[in-house]
Amino acid sequence: MVRWLGALLFFSMAARAPSVPLVSASDGRTTVTGAAYRLSFREGEGAFDLALKQLDGSFRVIGRAGGSLTLGLLTASGEEHLDGRRATWKIVQKGSTVVVGQASPLGVAGNTVVEMHYICTDDGILVGARVAKSQSQGALLPLPRLALDPSEWAEYAFYAEDGRLHTGHIDDLGPPSSYAGVSPWGTHGDTVARLEVQRPAIGVFTKDGTGLAAVFLDYARRWRNASAFVQRHTAPAVLFYPAYVPLEDATERMWCWLVPMRDSRLDALRIADLVRAGAELTTSFEPVAPPVPNDWFQEVGDFPDRLRRTAPVRDIRQAVVYTINESTTSEDALALARKAGSEVMIRGWFKWANAPDLSRVRHLPAKAHAFGALFGGGITCSALYDTENGITHEQLLDMATRGPDGELVDAWGQKGVRHGSLSSPAYLDYLFRWCKEQIDAGADVLFMDEHTAALAANEGFDDHSIAGFRAYLLEKLGWPPTDRRWQNRGIPLDDPAVCSDGTMRTFNYRAYLRKKGHTDNPWSPENPLARLYAEFREWRDARAWHSLTSRIRAYAASLGRRVLVNANGFAPEVDLQVAGVWNDTMMRNGRIDLTEDGIPRWRQRIRNGQRVAGRPVPVVLFHDWGFGDTPFPFLSMPVEDRDLWIRIRGAEIYAAGGFFAFPVLGPFGCNAARDGTLRTIQRQAIFYRAHRQLYTQGQYVGCHGLKTAEERLSLAVWQLSGGKTVAIHVINRAVEDGRLLPRVRVRITLPTPTSPVSARAVSPDWDGAVPVQLRRLPGGVEVTLPRLEAYAVVLVDFRRHPDLGGITEPARVTLEARWERPRRSEFRVGHGGMVDGSDDIPGMLQGRLHTHMRNPPTFLVDSTAGATLRIKVGAVATLGARVEVRVDGKVLAAVDLPDRDGLNDSEAPEYDRVLTFRIPRGGHRVTLDNSGGDWVRLRWLEWSVSSR
């Protein structure tokens, strides 16, 4: 695939005529760009993203697969979308066109195959769709249904059967639901029975005249029973159905143009030209979509009876299979969790804006319990929509936070969305209300998203927070309200605009910001109260979190139940930690990147999660998602990479002592049954549940000290309960062109003087156990794993407890690239090289250019036999960098890193080089600095401290 696409790109770039669409590939996507449109495809997945060129020449996405664009089937059992589905995929260039072919199984057990072809010309996209195999009843969407913003898409136009051009404003169609065009669902609005045969077109247009139209070929015959219409679906939502066809009419390929339009009146001459051009293109058309493989039609069977639980785990620490299940509000969705072998269903219900109606789904938790799963619910602790759940404007004003000027703020820049104030008693009650409702409906676990309210820098200055800050200052500093020391702090007690009664009892922080000129930048270093306000916010967030979790647990206890609580991200007072892998997805150019051994990275996160919790709770990592139309990283990678991520990175997380929550259901088209990963998930779940004791009764020892000549292996050692069995986790990261490269006779040396008696290997990639050869070497025991696909565990048995002193816990710290001045600069290096407060170490080490963001870290290290500091350098700025290590103020070593790629991209693989520095024995202050021109990106650092 990569080779022929590269050839196509070369041809397209080097020999492209002006009228040929441009083909480009980046970040795992292939994009076809015409004069006024852009289609973006993910190889191996159905559907596409659609963007139109605006008047200023920029492209704007108007339809994103999994969000505002829908292709697929509408049946009695619901919608079946092409987006997120596995699809065969091919792209070829034919003359002045680029042809993309896709075929994907839809429906129950894939009993319907939809074949799509896109003939891309410079003017538009000629779409050919057919149902190649069908046992379903319903309708096909051969062109994408688009959800449009009515504040921008204002007009419609179509030619009726009598030849008359219908145009109008969508707002004038009447109250929802109303229609314009040929509607299958009603005649309210501006509707007709048929489009004109000579000019079969319908379009929608923005206020500035940008538009999109559908133009049909062979309308009289092929589209005789089809519909094409605009729907004023709800007051804030407009849906454009360019084509809606009964499935029985779609067994023969149907052709229709999807074209950008500038004329809101639908240019008749252009429509005629498109009909003629379409006829010429389709006369000699040859399909390119590869057939769907037979194994894609095989339905995933139920989870094995031998491993099925009859009740959920009583102790969450005994669960080994977690799944993401947003949203489970139907029997079909519940069946997916059952097939996946879920023991903990995360976010089966979730309240984001309008709360889900639980009246018809209260029976689902009990059904989940019957197959051994805890049912999860959850809420947002941040988002607050202006009219959600029928709240009044007065309630909104009381619960929403404000900016420094006292005005409402659009959260995430989204109109009509606010952030709630955790200082507002009413908002805390509002949050608890939805928790209580889900508990009453049977939820066992509550996922509390953005538990610190996710406030931006320009938020958090509402009246409740201002009053809370005033009380916080009085309590923290302990001065009387009239004490003159407040004046010394810069608070003008004598200014009635700031302190209306002349004392701190009426101190108004917003007025203070206005008085001091800090309204536009309340966090300015020039504001002496900024640090105290940040401290107050942290204290307030912790108090609000404690209040919510206490109320949840007390209410559940009043019902004789226990409800488990987690946040999204690491938090105290939780029963389990659940956190996204956003910055740890490890992708490069849109594909999975398996270069790095991920176990040290996962181990760091697991330790941090348990440290924050204050006890060894389960740490669960999952693929989180974004806001609006932004897909989460898991959906940004090709389908085959998702399978590899589950098998390889997921296995690393388990090997590091955590758990991976398998993505079964989620937003933006995430559906394991659609993309084919359900079978892989089930296979992994069978293994983890069959070998539960490996992960619940064993103890992680470390991942350093094992020796192997093999490259691209991730390794970790555990000691099982009883101590006489050692588990060596072996994960294969060898991938080429998206395909896993199996291995044979993998040799690994376990550094132990203790002699074993036997060894065997188990794996999710085969049934049962296979024998493993053992050989005593001077440096330890060599085990030879006969074969390895993605993941295997070698179990080595000893007669007595083996000496595993040669295996160490990784002290590697993965660093985040933050564009800010680090808030601290001193870090103590403790036992085993562990660094206290490692989350604050900068991943962007600034040089001389941005002096205001410089705060280089100094490590306090004490070793009797010396220490080693290893640093992985990723990229440098165009001015280059110079990494410098100073010991007690004197330069120990310096490494010049000149710019190599000219990209100035902190995430580019410019160096990917490990620097090693030997530190003398004794106690020292070791400073890591950059004395070069500009920043250097540090990927990770690792201390090894010797005590010999």
Reply yes or no on whether the pLDDT at 27 is more than 80: no
CA distance 669 to 631: 9
**What's the token pair of residue 327?**
């949203």
pLDDT digits (tens, 9 = 90+) for 419-469: 999 999 999 999 999 999 999 999 999 999 999 999 999 999 999 999 999
Q: What is the mean pLDDT of residues 511-526?
A: 94
DSSP 222-272: HTTT-EEEEEEEETTEEEEEEEEEEGGG-SS-EEEEEEEES-TT--HHHHH
Q: What is the pLDDT of residue 631?
A: 58
At 617, the pLDDT band (50, 70, 90 cuts) reads: very high
At 627, the pLDDT band (50, 70, 90 cuts) reads: low
Q: What is the pLDDT of residue 947?
A: 58
Lowest-pLDDT choice from 102-116, 290-304, 505-519, 610-624:
102-116
Q: What is the mean pLDDT of residues 9-35?
A: 73
Question: Could you give the C-alpha distances from 790 to 71, 207, 324, in angstroms and in order?
Answer: 34, 54, 23
**327 upstream amide cis, omega within 30 of 0:** yes
CB 201 within 8 A of CB 215: yes
- Residue percentage of the chain with pLDDT more than 70: 96
The mean pLDDT value of the chain amounts to 92
Q: Is 493 or 630 the better-scoring residue by pLDDT?
A: 493
Q: What is the pLDDT of residue 295?
A: 86
Q: What is the mean pLDDT of residues 582-596?
A: 87
At 656, the pLDDT band (50, 70, 90 cuts) reads: very high
Q: What is the mean pLDDT of residues 848-860?
A: 93
Tokens 């530190």, residue located: 919
Q: Is 12 or 379 the better-scoring residue by pLDDT?
A: 379
Q: What is the pLDDT of residue 77?
A: 74
Surface-to-core class of residue 494, CB atoms within 10 Å of its CB (0-12 exposed, 13-18 middle, 19+ buried): exposed
Provide the whole-model pTM.
0.88
The residues pairing with 337 across neighbouring beta strands, listed in sequence order, are: none
CA distance 673 to 85: 8
Reply yes or no on whether the pLDDT at 10 is more than 50: no
Tell me the range of 280-284, 298-302, 818-822 where mean pLDDT is highest.
280-284
**What's the token pair of residue 593?**
């990147």
At 112, the pLDDT band (50, 70, 90 cuts) reads: confident
Q: What is the mean pLDDT of residues 7-18?
A: 42
Lowest-pLDDT choice from 86-100, 423-437, 666-680:
666-680
Reply yes or no on whether the pLDDT at 630 is more than 70: no
Reply yes or no on whether the pLDDT at 598 is more than 90: yes
**What's the token pair of residue 770?**
């296979």
Which phi and psi angles does 537 have, rounded to 5°?
-60, -45
Lowest-pLDDT choice from 64-73, 75-84, 149-158, 175-184:
75-84
Q: What is the pLDDT of residue 3?
A: 37
Do β-strands 22-26 and 29-33 pair in parallel, antiparallel, or remain unpaired?
antiparallel
CB 415 within 8 A of CB 485: no
Reply yes or no on whether the pLDDT at 205 is more than 60: yes
Q: Is 25 or 76 the better-scoring residue by pLDDT?
A: 25
Reply yes or no on whether the pLDDT at 49 is more than 60: yes
Which phi and psi angles does 316 have, rounded to 5°?
-60, -25
CB 199 within 8 A of CB 158: no
Q: What is the pLDDT of residue 487?
A: 94
CA distance 341 to 351: 25
Q: What is the mean pLDDT of residues 574-589?
A: 90
At 832, the pLDDT band (50, 70, 90 cuts) reads: confident
Q: What is residue 151's three-state secondary structure?
A: coil
At 635, the pLDDT band (50, 70, 90 cuts) reads: confident
The residues pairing with 758 across neighbouring beta strands, listed in sequence order, are: 797
Q: What is the pLDDT of residue 184?
A: 95
